[in-house]
Structure 1
Amino acid sequence: MSAPDPIVRAVEAVLFAATEPMTADAIRTHLEGVEVRAALATLQADYAGRGIELVRRGERWHFQTAPDMAHLLRRTHEEPRKLSRAGIETLAIIAYHEPTTRAEIEAIRGVGISKGTLDVLMEAGWIRPAGRREVPGRPLLYATTPEFLAHFGLASRRDLPGIDDLRAAGLLDPVDLAFERLDSEAEVEVSDEDD
Structure 2
Amino acid sequence: MMDPKPSKYAPHSDADIVSLIEAHPFAWIVSAGSGFGATPLPLRPRCDTDGKLIAFAGHFARSNAQVERLKSHPRALILFMGPHAYMSPSWMADRTQAPTWNYMSAAFECDLSFIEDADEIEADLNDLIAAMETDRSNGWSMAEMGERAHRLARGIIGFRADIVSQNAAFKLGQDERDDVFTDILNGLAQEGEHGLTQHMRTYNTDRA
Bin for the TM-score computed over the shorter chain: under 0.3
Comparing both structures, which one devotes a greater share of its residues to helix?
1
**Which structure has greater strand proportion?**
2
Normalized against structure 2, the TM-score is what?
0.19
Compare relative contact order (CA 8 Å, sep 6+) and give the higher one, 1 or 2.
2
TM-score between the two structures when normalised by the length of structure 1: 0.20
Q: Which has the larger radius of gyration?
A: 1
